[in-house]
Each structure stands twice: as structure tokens, then as C-alpha cells.
Amino acid sequence: MPIRLSAAPQPDFPDLLVIFGRAANMPFPTFVMLSLIVGGVSFKLAIDPEESLLARSDNMFWTQNAVIVPLVTGAGRGGTHSVARFLNQVGIKAQHEGIAPNAVSVSWLYAPFGDKPHSKHDLSTPFSNIQIRRNALLKEWLPHLSEASEEVDPEPFSPFTLRQNETEDVMIKFYPILHIVRNPLEAIASLERCFCGRGDIKLGSSADHLSWEFAEQFVEPLGATRMQKAANYWLRWNELSGRHATHTFRVEDIDAAQFVRALGSEQTTVAREFQSVRSGESPAELKRGLTWAQLRDAVGANLTDEIMQQAVLFGYKVD
């Protein structure tokens, strides 16, 4: 089977070179060799050139020294529930708030780790105090977790333990990285209500507290009031998410075919439109509109102007 080869240096991590090929009938790029140098130690990951990256045997995934994981990320309350559901429904395995063998990871939590390869230990440690399922380095793809909010844990799963032939640690490189953004007024209003699934503080007070605590490990102190925290977080976390992103999409008008192709698929059409599977939204009775004038009164002119400028760069109208 003919394979087209090309090399992809990673500008943010000069010691990483990805050499990949694409077979004519393969929907995703097939990585042939990953050459990675960490701390003077060279790792090489060889992959059968006739296997698709997202269709390899699950039981081989964690036996490698290094793995490539496609990532969709952005600020929390920005659409990751919907993206995970959409991808699973169009036949692309996606794991919400976790990493599963040969699946796209969809999570705001991984935005700080897009800069370079990180070890399995480094990725899991920051999540250990949030919830067991957020320490989600999974042995297998669990799509039902994509449908669950943070407050509703399905069955708990076992801590990550090694099987025969599995490496003590695995270097995980997120690539490609798709950054999704949401209208700032809607996102900030939702975050102000609750930084949790469905934006309902009555259901997610614990997740709300722990989410803010996690975010402030990576961005500057966010403020004293909930509105200040929400506004600063939207601005700073989107900047962090986009820093190493290969593509950016607005969640309100995602072109499904373009989105899937950005992940590496050669599909030219997608049977289901993204907007038809939106999920994770706040109940209608909780939603309150937020205007730019109200935001300026709550957080000040300087921060509001920064948010408006960033919104324009993302393609939103701020009139």
C-alpha cells in the first residue's frame, strides 16, 4: 500500500520530530516514527504504516515510550461536552476530561500542557485533588464519560496500574491542538453562575471550588468576586489554550467537516452537523443575559476592553 511521507518539526519543542505518512484509504495521518529527546534521552516510537493513528489496538497504546494525542481544548464552560458528544456520534473516538487509547482528548484541563511532551505522571498529578475521574488516564475508551457532568460520576474506575510490557512512564504529546472559543458574554455569565457541568451551583459547588483552584495554578490570581474571576479566566485561559493551538474554532458556528479535517481526517462530508448535538448547557431558568455595560460595571473598563479586543480577534461582534 503506497504511503505518502512527510516530516513535521515541532517549533515549540525543537527536539521533537514527527515523521508521518498517509495511506490512500486511511482517514487519519499514520505516524511512522516519533523521534523525541527528553533530558538527553532519545525515545523513538515506531508505528505500522498501515495502521491509522486513531485506530490502533488499544492494548498497545500504553506500551510505547511516547504517544501522540489529538486535543480539543479551551476555557471551561466553552463547549467541550458538545464537542466530545459530536465526535463520538460521527465515529471519531473522543474522551471527555481524559486520555484514552487512540481517542481525541477533549478537556479544558489539558490546556497548560500543550507546550511540549509531558510524562504520564506530570499530566495526572494536577488532577489528583479534583476528582478521581479527572485523573483520567484510561485503559480503554469510555464514551459514556463524555455524556456525564463532573457531578455525576458513573462507576469509579481503578487507578492506573501497569500491565505486562507497559512502560513505567509515557511521554504524551498533544497534537494537533484545536482551540474552541465561546462568546465571552455567554461564557462569563455561565462561569459566574458555576464553574461546573451545566453551570448549576446547586449541583456542582464542590466542582466549582476545585475548578477555580486548579485554574489559578496556571494563570494569575483571578479576582475577588465571581464576575472578576470569570472574566479574567475567560481571557487568560483562552490565551493559554491558543498559545500552541494549530486551529481555532468558535463553538457557535463550527463547520463540522472543517473541524474533523483539522483533527487529521480526510472526510469531506460529515452526516451530522455540530449544532445538532450541543450539550452541557445551563438550564434555561438559570440563564441571565450579560451586556458589555454590565460587565464593565462589574469588573472595570480595563479588563472589559481587553476582553472585547480578544473577542474581536476571535471574530465576535462587540457592538
Q: What is the mean pLDDT of the chain?
A: 75
Q: What confidence tens digit (pLDDT) does each residue in 218-232 have?
A: 998 899 999 999 999
Q: How confident is the model at residue 279 (pLDDT cuts 50, 70, 90)?
A: low
Q: What pLDDT score does 131 carry?
A: 45
Mean pLDDT, range 18-34, rounded to an integer: 44
Q: How confident is the model at residue 41 (pLDDT cuts 50, 70, 90)?
A: very low
The answer for residues whose C-beta is within 8 angstroms of residue 45's C-beta and 6 or more apart is: 31, 33, 34, 36, 64, 65, 66, 67
Q: What pLDDT score does 53 carry?
A: 43
Above 90 in pLDDT, residue 142? no
Q: How confident is the model at residue 72 (pLDDT cuts 50, 70, 90)?
A: very high
Query: What is the three-class DSSP state of 60?
Result: helix
Pairing of strands 94-96, 3-9: unpaired
Are the C-beta atoms of residues 70 and 104 closer than 8 Å to each other? yes
CA–CA distance from 210 to each of 88, 126, 204, 216, 283 (Å)?
27, 11, 10, 10, 22
Query: Looking at the DSSP assignment, which residues form a beta bridge with residue 18?
Result: 8, 34
And the C-alpha cell for 1?
A: 500500500
